[in-house]
Amino acid sequence: MQIPPDLKLGFWDFAQANPQALAVVEHDGAEVLAGDLLAGCNQLVHALRAQGLAKGDCVAFVLPNSAPVLELFMAAAQAGWFITPINSHLAVGEMAYILEDCGAKAVFGSARYAERLLPAVERSGVGLERCFSVGASIPGFTDFAELKAGHSSERPSDRAAGSPMTYTSGTTGRPKGVRRAVFDAAPEAVSTQQALFLSLFGMLPGSQHVHLNVAPLYHTAVINFASNHLHLGHTVVLMDKWTPQGMLARIERYRVTTTHMVPTMFVRLLKMAPDERLGFDCSSVSHMIHGAAPCPVDVKQRMLEWWGESVYEYYAASEGGGTLVTPQQWLEKPGTVGPPWPISELQIRNDEGELVPAGEPGTVWIAMGDHKFKYHGDEAKTQEAWRDRFFTVGDAGYLDDEGWLYLCDRKADMIISGGVNIYPAEIEGVLLQHDQVMDAAVFGIPDEDWGECVHAVLQLREGVGDAEASVRSFCADQLARYKQPKSYDVMDELPRDPNGKLYKRRLRDPFWAGKDSAI
């Protein structure tokens, strides 16, 4: 790929050359120019260095989607700092653990979360002298604007590339920070290399795009996509809380070309009344990218029918990746998440670590050239994740004869009933096709005869009463008998975070209290 020599890549160079370019649209419609975002991130570097922060230190934040998050991210990325986003839904103890574990030297918070953040800061031992409130004030915190006041907006000296240190979801045990080394390389060199990830989807340097940010910026992929678009000079439109109507309205208003979604959002969009969702002009969309969870084939097909050949899919994790499949490729091989990236390799291994043949499910292992990471403070987990050059995050899947990956589910979510492996994602995909089901979660619960049996928790569409008989009949037509849920519960709403991630353990754990799970 040939990059025009006069093209300014990397947010700092682009913003310096194009200060009047629209960088960010806040959730309330307020606009932030590239030059203003650049000035703010430069001031932050000068201000925090004056507070004693040095290369290799970590800053953390608990903030809603807003321009200051991106300002902070770009500051860390040119000062050689680690930056740790903290999920705003965590409890006090969970926040305190991450603040202490990451070694945060500065904390940025919103009054929206002060009720949990304040005791978390106190419990973690982070001093209030380096705690800063963004927006409304927090007792004991210094105001964000006051921190920057009087500091230069000029480019700082001694710049070095920083790195995110995001925390895994903690499927088992405490979450762990995924830590990569910070570099002595120029920030522009590292950020440009990272931003060229978008070229895998056909979004090339010099192209014009508007990226809609629909999920919380504390998620790894979400902050990476937003920052990569800024590095290529694109506009980022922020949502504070995702709703189907809010998303479609912004696509129409800002002529959005690209976004990053999860399959749950597709389901919610498709459950809208046809005349409502088709009443929005979505003709601008060109690269609607999704990942994070297996997407039911029927859902993907319906999205392609609606948005045309603009729905791209990839497979990756906070630790790395991955695969990518274009809309055209997916239509040829429905259900695949694609072949590996040019820099990646894939293997499927059984529990004994042996390679398995094409078509046989096992654990997905990935290699990315010289890419390395470690779990901060957990050498045992780091060693467990790596085997030779390959690492795993515990996903299950299989390769076809051409080496294209098909995901089954998270291995930790797999149900073993009577010695047979059952993948909940497949069953959830069937349940979501039922016209009375808005959301579904499937997991194993204890069974004296089979070890585990399949249980489903449903969220029904508004106004629907008892749908169990209809759902059972539907599943009997779509699934083998051993995959059909043996029991059902109904909830008003399933426990998901704003990015669509299902907290399945909250549903499953009560069934296993006092018992040994087969998983």
Domain ranges of the chain: 34-190, 340-413, 415-512
Res. 428: pLDDT tops 80:
yes
The highest-confidence range among 111-115, 169-173, 190-194, by mean pLDDT, is 111-115
Q: What is the pLDDT of residue 172?
A: 47
Res. 183: pLDDT tops 70:
no
Per-residue pLDDT reduced to its tens digit, 385-415: 777 788 888 788 899 999 999 987 666 677 8
pLDDT (mean) for 427-449:
88
Residue 145's pLDDT band (cuts 50, 70, 90): very high
pLDDT (mean) for 187-203:
86
For the chain, the distance separating the N- and C-terminal CA atoms, rounded to the nearest angstrom, is 46
Residue 353's pLDDT band (cuts 50, 70, 90): confident
Per-residue pLDDT reduced to its tens digit, 264-314: 889 889 989 999 999 999 999 999 999 867 788 888 999 999 999 999 999
The highest-confidence range among 167-171, 205-209, 415-419, by mean pLDDT, is 205-209
Res. 169: pLDDT tops 90:
no
Q: What is the pLDDT of residue 422?
A: 84
Of 1.10.3720.10, 2.40.30.10, 1.10.1660.10, 2.30.38.10, the CATH number of 340-413 is 2.30.38.10
Q: What is the pLDDT of residue 514?
A: 66
pLDDT (mean) for 143-170:
90
- CB 227 within 8 Å of CB 73: yes
Residue with tokens 């700082």: 156
Amino acid at 348: I
340-413 and 415-512 in the same fold: no
Res. 519: pLDDT tops 50:
no
Quick one: what percent of the chain has pLDDT higher than 70? 92
Q: What is the pLDDT of residue 185?
A: 81
Higher-confidence residue of 374 and 34: namely 34
Residue 517's pLDDT band (cuts 50, 70, 90): very low
Q: What sign has the CA pseudo-torsion 510, 294, 407, 179?
A: negative
Residue with tokens 């860390």: 76
Q: In what order do the strands lie in the sheet with 451-460?
A: 437-447, 451-460, 487-490
DSSP code of residue 270: H
- CB 229 within 8 Å of CB 254: no
Q: For 108-122, 208-222, 245-259, 493-507, which range has the lowest pLDDT when averaged over its residues?
A: 493-507
CATH of segment(s) 34-190: 3.40.50.980
Across-strand partners of 235? 210
DSSP code of residue 359: T
- CB 150 within 8 Å of CB 142: no
User: The domain 415-512 belongs to what CATH superfamily?
Assistant: ANL, C-terminal domain (3.30.300.30)
Between CA 480 and CA 483 the distance in angstroms is 5
Residue with tokens 């940025």: 108
Q: What average pLDDT does the structure give for the chain? A: 88
Res. 113: pLDDT tops 50:
yes
* Cα–Cα separations (whole angstroms), residue 392 to 224, 335, 337, 366, 410: 21, 21, 16, 6, 11
Higher-confidence residue of 417 and 114: namely 114
Higher-confidence residue of 371 and 71: namely 71
* Exposure string over 435-460, b if 16+ CB within 10 A, otherwise e: eebbbbbbbbbbbeebbbbbbbbbbb
Amino acid at 323: T
Amino acid at 453: C
Between CA 272 and CA 292 the distance in angstroms is 23
